[in-house]
Amino acid sequence: MKLPALASLWSGKKSPETDFNDHPDEFDRLWRSFMTARATLGGVLVLLQVSLLGLAATPSLTPLVICAAYLIATLAERVMSAPKQSGLRFNGTWLRTLGVDLLAFTALQAMQDSSINYTPLFALPVLMASVLGSQLMALASAASVTLLLFAHAGWLSLQAPWNTSALFSQAALTGAGCFAISFIARQMVSRLASIELKAQRSQLAAAVQRQVNELIIETLGDGVLVVDAQHLIRSANPAAQKQLCIPPGTQNRSLILTNVPGWQGLRHLIDETFRTQTTQHLEISIQHEGHGTRLVMAHTQLTKQLNPDAQGMCVVFLQDQRELQARLRVEKFASMGRMSAAVAHEIRNPLAAIVQANALLAEDLSDPGQQQLSRLVQQNAQRLEKTVHDILHVVQSPNTDHLVQAQPLDLTLTLPRICRDWQSHGGNKPNIALRLPNTQAWVWFDPEHLRRILINLLDNAQRYISTRPDAIQINLDKSWETGASARICLRVWSDGAPLDPSVEQHLFEPFFSSESRSSGLGLYICRELCDSHGAEINYQRSTRAMGGQMFTGNEFFVVFKTLPPHDLQSAPTKPNE
C-alpha cells in the first residue's frame, strides 16, 4: 500500500488525479463494492418494474426502459472501467457514476405514481461521492440531489397547488438528510483513514525494528539459538550455525537436538532450563566428527508465555571459548609486547658478549673437541639472535634490515637439505614425498627464514597426519607467465582433517591457535617472513594421490618472488650453505 496516495485520497486535500497503479488497494476494493452495489440495484429495479407491469391496469414501459438502461450502464462501468477517483470537478468519471445515478433516479422519481417513492435511492450517489471522492465533491453531490428534489417539488406544485407546502417540506427534509449523510460519511472516512494511516505507520515501524533486530542477530559474533521444549531448533543465526557445524542449506525446522549425538550437553542444558524455569549458565562441549571438540559458554533464558496453553521458547546464547581465549591471549601478549623492545636489548647485549668471548676463546683453542664446542656455541648464539629478531615482528612494525641477508636460492637443492635436517632431529619423523622439477628454481630469499617457514609447516603437518605412506608431500611447481617470468610455488600437503571454519578464519593471525599449549605465533611469523621477501603464503584444501587413491588434505603454499632474468645469469650454481 502507498501511504501518500491513501492520505491524499482520504484527506480531502487537492491532489492530481492518478491512474489505476497509483491507487491504494483499499480504494480499489471500495470502488468495486460500490460498482457492484449499483449493478445489483439496477437488477432489482428491473425486476420491480417487470412485476409492476404485470400488476398495473395501465402498464407503462418507460420506467422499465429507464431501469434497463441504468442496469446496462452500471454493468458496463463495473466490467469495463478501472477504479478512479471522482476528483474535484464534474469530470467524465463523475458523469459515468454519480451523474448516471442522479439522472436515472430523478427520471424514476418524476414518473412515479402514488405507490412508489424513489427518493431513498438518492442516498447511494451521495454516499458514494462521500467515500470515493473529496469533501467538495460530496457536498456538491448532496447539493445536486437537493436542487433536483426542489425542482421536482416545484413541478408537482404547478400541477397540484394545494399540496405545495408538503412537497417542499419533503424535498427539504430529504436534502437535509443527504447533507447529513455526506457529513457523517466524510467524518467516518476521515476517521478510518486516520486509523489506517496509524496502523500503516505502526506496521512500518514494526517491520523496520524487525529488520534491525534480524540484522543485529545475523551479524552478532555470539551464537543465538531458539529451541522449543521438544528440542526443535526454531531459529539459528550464522554464528550458531558455524559453532554447531550446521550446513548453510539446512532448514532450521528439520534440526532436532536429539538427532545429533555431539549436542548432548546442549540438550541437557535446555532440559534443565525448562525443568527449573530458570536461566542456566554453563560451559559445554560440542563434538562433531572431523571437526574436533569445541568448548562454548552457553547461557539460556526462557521467553514469556503468551497464553497458558502455549509454552515459551528457550533462547540459547553461545560464546566460542577459543575465540575468547584468543582475545585474552592477544591482550596478554599485547601488554607483554610493550616491554619487548627493552627486553630484546637486554638479551642482545649478553648475546653479543657471549659471541665475542667465544670468539676470543676460539683463538686459543687447539683441541678439535673444544673447537667443535666453540663452533656449536657460536651457531646457537646466532640462531638465538635471529629468533629474537623474528619475534620482534609481533610487537614492532617490520623493517627491511634482514632483507640484506636475502640471497639467490635454488629451491631444488635447498628443500631436500632442509627436509633431511628436519627428519634427522627427533624421533618418529615420517617420510616426506618430495617432488621437484627437473630444472633449477631460483628465488630471492633468506636461507634461514626459508628453513624456519618449511620446518614450521612440517611440524604442523606432523601433528594431524595419518599413518598412511606419503601422508606429507612437498611439491615445487614452476610455471612461466607473460614476459618470460617464472612463477614458483612451494606446496606442503598433508592428509589431515579439514580445519574448523573458525580456525581457518584466523589462521595467520597472531596468538590464535586451536591448541591450548601453542602460542599461535608460528604461522603468523611465517606470513611476516614471506611478506618481507615479497612472497605470499596461503591455505587451501586440495587432493593428492596416495597409494593409488585420491585423498583430500590440507595444503599450505608459498608463492615466491623470482629473480629477474639478468640476475639468473649471474646466480651461483649452488645455494649458500
Measured CA to CA in angstroms, residue 62 lies from 59, 68, 102, 212 at distances of: 9, 10, 17, 67
- For the chain, give every domain's residue range: 3-202, 220-327, 338-391, 401-570
For 298, the grid coordinates are 552457553
CATH class of 401-570: alpha beta
Measured CA to CA in angstroms, residue 85 lies from 61, 82, 97, 169, 196 at distances of: 35, 10, 11, 34, 19
For residue 443, which phi and psi values (nearest 5 degrees)? Answer: -135, 165
DSSP, res 469 = T
Summarised one tens digit per residue, pLDDT across range 237-268 is 888 888 887 766 665 456 788 777 788 888 88
The CATH number of 220-327 is: 3.30.450.20
Digitized pLDDT (tens) for each residue of the chain, 577 residues in all: 343 443 343 344 444 333 333 445 677 788 888 888 888 988 888 888 888 877 766 667 888 888 889 889 889 888 888 777 665 566 667 777 888 888 888 888 777 765 677 888 888 888 888 888 777 778 888 888 888 888 877 887 777 666 677 778 878 888 888 888 888 888 888 888 788 888 888 888 888 888 888 888 788 878 888 888 888 888 888 888 888 877 666 654 567 887 777 888 888 898 889 888 888 888 888 876 655 677 888 899 888 876 766 678 889 998 887 777 767 766 766 666 666 656 666 777 788 888 888 888 888 888 888 888 888 888 888 767 766 765 655 555 444 444 447 788 889 999 999 998 888 876 678 889 999 988 888 888 988 889 989 998 998 888 888 888 888 999 998 876 545 556 789 999 998 888 877 777 778 877 666 665 455 677 888 888 888 888 889 999 999 888 788 999 999 999 987 765 555 555 554 444 4
Q: How far apart are CA 65 and CA 61, in angstroms?
A: 6
pLDDT recorded at residue 465:
87
Burial of 436 (0-12, 13-18, 19+ CB in 10 A): middle
pLDDT recorded at residue 12:
41
Interior CA angle at 410 toward 406 and 411, to 5°?
100
Contact indicator for 88, 14 with CB cutoff of 8 Å? yes
Residue that the C-alpha cell 522449543 belongs to = 228
Summarised one tens digit per residue, pLDDT across range 14-53 is 443 333 334 456 777 888 888 888 889 888 888 888 888 7
Buried b (16+ CB within 10 A) or exposed e, 526-564: bbbbbebbebebeeeeeebebeeeebebbbbbbbbebbe
Contact indicator for 486, 480 with CB cutoff of 8 Å? yes
Instruction: Sheet with 486-494: list strands edge to edge.
Output: 432-435, 472-480, 486-494, 549-559, 536-546
Residue that the C-alpha cell 631436500 belongs to = 416
pLDDT recorded at residue 487:
78
* Helix and strand counts by DSSP (H, E) for the chain: 18, 12
Contact indicator for 550, 493 with CB cutoff of 8 Å? no
Burial of 61 (0-12, 13-18, 19+ CB in 10 A): exposed
pLDDT recorded at residue 21:
39
Measured CA to CA in angstroms, residue 31 lies from 79, 82, 383 at distances of: 12, 9, 90
pLDDT recorded at residue 513:
64
Is this prediction's pTM over 0.85? no
pLDDT recorded at residue 413:
92
Contact indicator for 101, 129 with CB cutoff of 8 Å? no
